[in-house]
Amino acid sequence: MNGIATNYINIQNLSRQYIQGETVVNALSGIELGFQRGEFGALVGPSGSGKSTLLNCMGALDKPTTGSVEIDGKDVTRLTGNELSDFRLQNIGFVFQAYNLVPVLTAYENVEYILLLQGVGPAERKQRIHALSKKMDMDDLMHRFPDQLSGGQQQRVAVARALVGEPEVVLADEPTANLDSANAEKLIELMLQMCEETETTFIFSTHDDRVMKSAHRLIHLRDGQVERDEKVQ
């Protein structure tokens, strides 16, 4: 990186400890990372290495024990209440391993929900959702409810929901885990295009070689620490 001043995301001395019985588990220990706007980075490492915990702390879904996460100069670890909710809504898109789709809403309504919260008007909502569903080859899924979709189809809806709000940062936990090769490649291509055209910053946790090969940067985690940080493109 070219120094703290050029970073869009700054992570400093980030640690997260959990108490399990009488044992202290160091999920993250002293993480120091910076990301420039428009990076396409992947967190890689074995299960239990801290990938999901780091994503959750970056998105202020989990509070670190020590340290800070600054996004565009704002320390998200110090935001609370409505201020935190508004920041996440306008700036961060999440893709969860568990999808977190609302079961009583159709796929279309699940994707639309973020835009409703953002106050986007009806015509623009329809245009954005149609364009995205076409790019992701999802037009035939949009009228279905989550329990009528396969795991891979639910994953694509969850990704569309994360992207449709045009966030500055997308944090994705194993986004291709349940997708076949064709849909995984479409998704990676779409995210790379969005990264290049809008300078959206994408940070994934992944075990998928396809994502790793497309990433600009691989951050290897082990036992809650950065083992290696390499530029690959």
User: What angle in degrees, to the nearest 10, is found between the helix axes of 122-135 and 151-164?
Assistant: 130
Per the CB < 8 A criterion, the answer to whether 175 and 159 are in contact is yes
Q: How far apart are CA 39 and CA 175, in angstroms?
A: 17
**What are the mean pLDDT values of the chain's consecutive 10-residue runs (233 residues total)?**
64 94 92 94 94 94 94 92 92 88 96 96 96 91 95 90 94 88 88 89 92 93 95 80
16-52: burial string, b at 16+ Cβ within 10 Å, e else = beeeeeeeeeebbbebebbbbbbbbbbbbbeeebbbb
> Which residue segments constitute the domains of the chain, with CATH numbers given?
4-101+168-231 (3.40.50.300)
Instruction: Identify the sign of the CA torsion 44, 48, 54, 55.
Output: positive
User: What is the chain's alpha carbon radius of gyration, rounded to the nearest angstrom?
Assistant: 17
What pLDDT is recorded for position 147?
A: 95
What does the pLDDT read at residue 177? Answer: 84
Residue with tokens 């409505």: 82
Specify the pLDDT at position 228.
Answer: 95
The three-class DSSP label of residue 37 is: coil
Angle at 68 between CA 9 and CA 8, to 5 degrees: 10
What pLDDT score does 5 carry? 44
pLDDT in tens, 14-48: 999 998 888 988 999 999 999 999 999 999 999 89
